[in-house]
Structure formats: C-alpha cells, structure tokens
C-alpha cells in the first residue's frame, strides 16, 4: 500500500463519516416528521439510517480488499 492510497482512504472515510454525522444531526426532526404519518415508518427510517452507516464501511472494505 502506497502512502497516497492510505491518505485517500482516510479522506474518503472522513467524508463518509462527516456525511453520516450530518444525517444523524437532522435525524430526530426527520423521524418526528415521519412519525406523524406512521411510527413504524419513523422506526424503519432510523433503523435503515443506522444500518447503512455500517453497510457503507463494510462495502468499502470489501472493495478495498479486492483491489
């Protein structure tokens, strides 16, 4: 692994992490709005948001292993 690749990976991971932190910052408002329609919809959105955080990093790790 070259030095540039490690730096690129760290930047990509940081951007993904920052994006999810923004999502988690506005998530209570989104869930409250969705709960007006259905509490199950709000719960599903929260669950998908949290699981997608781990899914993105898992898929990225799989892609990096193949390269």
* pLDDT tens, residue by residue, 27-64: 999 999 999 999 999 999 999 999 998 998 898 888 88
pLDDT band, very low/low/confident/very high, at 23 (cuts 50, 70, 90): very high
Full-prediction pTM beyond 0.85?
no
Residue 22: pLDDT above 70? yes
The pLDDT of residue 1 is 46
Tokens of 18: 């920052």
Query: 10 near 20, Cβ under 8 Å?
Result: no
The pLDDT of residue 4 is 58
Residue 16: pLDDT above 60? yes
Rounded distance, CA 19 to CA 21, Å?
Answer: 5
Query: 42 near 31, Cβ under 8 Å?
Result: yes
- What angle is formed at CA 49 by the lines to CA 12 and CA 59, rounded to 5 degrees? 45
């Amino acid at each position: 692994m070259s030095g540039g690749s490690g730096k690129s990976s760290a930047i990509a991971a940081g951007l993904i992490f920052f994006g999810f932190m923004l999502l988690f910052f506005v998530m209570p408002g989104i869930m409250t709005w969705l709960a007006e329609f259905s509490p199950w919809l709000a719960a599903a959105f929260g669950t998908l948001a949290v699981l997608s955080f781990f899914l993105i990093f898992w898929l990225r790790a799989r892609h990096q292993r193949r390269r």
